[in-house]
């Protein structure tokens, strides 16, 4: 059985061995203030920086989910308001989470085939603390290219930081961390690991802002987390198993450049195939806005139902469309943990049954 669900997604097969090792090596009861854990944290941070090309002067935090990152960013780095540019459900949820805490927060939507124009963003003003974008919108299967993110970054209001949800792309495609101040992801997507851990990366500029604001009124306040992280510790008992699995997996995986190339090539093949050969069509028609890590397809509800059912009979679990597109959509995760053999089987299935 292969799963193409875009989260929780197929985990790396090595996870089975890592879990066994975690148990045998006593990680499940390792004290989180002890030297053994601190070593693990230090190593994991270094390994992440090396393998994902994260600048050495950026700071890494471990949280429990991308959703927790939304709340922490609103609490700790948004004294006034944030500005959210989005085209799908995850970007919208982030906007709503921020607005619940900072009512002056502003949202602006754009279309799934549209590249947002950094020069025309009504509602973005000098009072904005954070400009929030979703690099890979898992719900609409769209992606913001590096050039778009760079344009936004270059046009930020003077005190604003650029915060990027990279939940379904970090560790799958190469991210230009220097073109953003805050990047986060949770590990059940491109990291190919079980859920329950998020990685958040902050630029020196974001850390400087955090220092000025000194927000300490929540259990997960960034300032508190930062103080602990200076010694590779956490504010509360962390997901030690999750961090252990991340450590092993990042260590055993190739540098992001290699993974990136593989993922992008596979995405190109998938789009080429679905552009021509089947009764289904890619949801996103603009090649410039298509996601490389989650491929969205669309068709009439009856056909979607049939594809899902027949795929399951063939040992292929395809993700549903998200939210309003549940009945008319399919999503195929193109995450690195899913082997090429799975995609060969998937394409053969479509060629045989739905061409
Ligand atoms: C999955 C996902 C989230 C939510 O992640 P959690 O770990 O469940 O909080 C947020 N943003 C995007 C883009 C996602 O794909």
- Delimiting residues of CATH 3.40.640.10 domain(s) in the chain: 15-252
Q: Is 7 in the pocket of ligand 1 (CB under 6 A)?
A: yes
Per-residue pLDDT of the chain (355 residues; tens, 9 = 90+): 999 999 899 999 999 999 999 999 999 999 999 999 999 999 999 999 999 999 999 999 999 999 999 999 999 999 999 999 999 999 999 999 999 999 999 999 999 999 999 999 999 999 999 999 999 999 999 999 999 999 999 999 999 999 999 999 999 999 999 999 999 999 999 999 999 999 999 999 999 999 999 999 999 999 999 999 999 999 999 999 999 999 999 999 999 999 999 999 999 999 999 999 789 999 999 999 999 999 999 999 999 999 999 999 999 999 999 999 999 999 999 999 999 999 999 999 999 999 8
Q: Is 92 in the pocket of ligand 1 (CB under 6 A)?
A: no
Q: Is 54 in the pocket of ligand 1 (CB under 6 A)?
A: no
Q: How far is the CA of 267 from the centre of ligand 1 (A)?
A: 21
Q: How far is the CA of 87 from the centre of ligand 1 (A)?
A: 15
Q: Is 185 in the pocket of ligand 1 (CB under 6 A)?
A: no
Which is nearest to 71 in space by CA: 48, 47, 99, 91?
Answer: 99
- From 88, 138, 194, 220, give the residue whose CB has the most ligand 1 atoms within 8 Å, as the site to mutate: 138
| Ligand 1 atom closest to the CA of 69, numbered from 1 | 9
- Delimiting residues of CATH 3.90.1150.10 domain(s) in the chain: 2-8+255-353
Q: How far is the CA of 231 from the centre of ligand 1 (A)?
A: 28
- Decide: pTM greater than 0.85: yes
At 278 the pLDDT is: 81
Q: How far is the CA of 355 from the centre of ligand 1 (A)?
A: 33
Q: Is 86 in the pocket of ligand 1 (CB under 6 A)?
A: no
Among protein residues, the one with the nearest Cα to ligand 1's atom 3 is 66
| Ligand 1 atom closest to the CA of 66, numbered from 1 | 9
Topology adopted by domain 2-8+255-353 = 3.90.1150
Among protein residues, the one with the nearest Cα to ligand 1's atom 2 is 167
The 3-class SS string of the chain reads CEECCCCCCCCCCCHHHHHHHHHHCCHHHCCCCCHHHHHHHHHHHHHHHHHHCCCCCCEEEEECCHHHHHHHHHHHHCCCEEEEEECCHHHHHHHHHHHHHCCCCEEEECCCCCCCCCCCCCCCCCCEEEEEEECEECCCCEECCHHHHHHHHHCCCCCCEEEEECCCCECCECCCHHHCCEEEEECCCCCCCCCCCEEEEECHHHHHHHHHHCCCCCCCCHHHHHHHHCCCCCCCCCCHHHHHHHHHHHHHCCCHHHHHHHHHHHHHHHHHHHHHCCCCEECCCCCCCECCCEEEEECCHHHHHHHHHHHHHCCEECEECCHHHCCCEEEEECCCCCCHHHHHHHHHHHHHHCC
Identify the sign of the CA torsion 136, 141, 147, 149: negative
Among protein residues, the one with the nearest Cα to ligand 1's atom 5 is 66
CATH number for the region 15-252 comes to 3.40.640.10
Residues 6+ apart with CB under 8 A from 10: 2, 3, 4, 192, 333, 335, 337, 338, 342
């Amino acid at each position: 059985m292969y799963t193409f669900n875009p989260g929780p997604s197929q985990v790396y097969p090595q996870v089975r061995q890592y879990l066994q090792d975690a148990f045998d090596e006593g990680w499940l009861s390792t004290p989180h203030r002890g030297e053994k854990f601190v070593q693990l944290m230090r190593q994991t941070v270094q390994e992440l920086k090396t393998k994902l090309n994260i600048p050495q002067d950026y700071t890494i935090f471990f949280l429990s989910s991308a959703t927790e990152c939304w709340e922490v960013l609103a609490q700790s780095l948004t004294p006034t308001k944030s500005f959210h540019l989005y085209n799908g459900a995850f970007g919208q949820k982030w906007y709503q989470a921020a607005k619940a805490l900072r009512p002056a927060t502003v949202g602006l939507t754009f279309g799934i085939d549209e590249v947002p124009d950094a020069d025309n963003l009504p509602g973005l003003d000098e009072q904005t603390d954070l400009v929030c974008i979703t690099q890979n919108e898992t719900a609409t299967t769209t992606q913001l290219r590096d050039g778009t993110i760079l344009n936004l970054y270059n046009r930020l209001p003077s005190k604003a930081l650029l915060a990027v949800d990279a939940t379904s792309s970090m560790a799958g495609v190469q991210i230009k961390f220097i073109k953003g101040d805050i990047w986060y992801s949770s590990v059940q997507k491109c990291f190919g690991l079980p859920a329950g851990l998020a990685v958040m990366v902050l630029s020196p500029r974001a850390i400087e802002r955090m220092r000025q604001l000194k927000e300490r009124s929540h259990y997960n306040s960034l300032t508190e987390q930062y103080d602990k992280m200076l010694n590779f510790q956490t504010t509360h008992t962390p997901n030690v198993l999750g961090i252990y699995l991340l450590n092993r997996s990042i260590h055993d995986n190739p540098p992001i450049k290699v993974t990136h190339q593989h993922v992008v090539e596979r995405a190109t093949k998938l789009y080429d195939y679905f552009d021509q050969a089947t009764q289904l069509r890619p949801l996103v028609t603009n090649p410039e806005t298509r996601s490389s890590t989650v491929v969205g397809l669309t068709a009439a509800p009856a056909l979607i139902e049939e594809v899902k059912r027949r795929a399951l009979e063939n040992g292929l679990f395809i993700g549903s469309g998200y939210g309003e597109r549940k009945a008319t959509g399919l999503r195929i995760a193109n995450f690195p943990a899913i082997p090429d053999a799975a995609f060969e089987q998937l394409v053969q299935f479509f060629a045989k049954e739905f061409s």
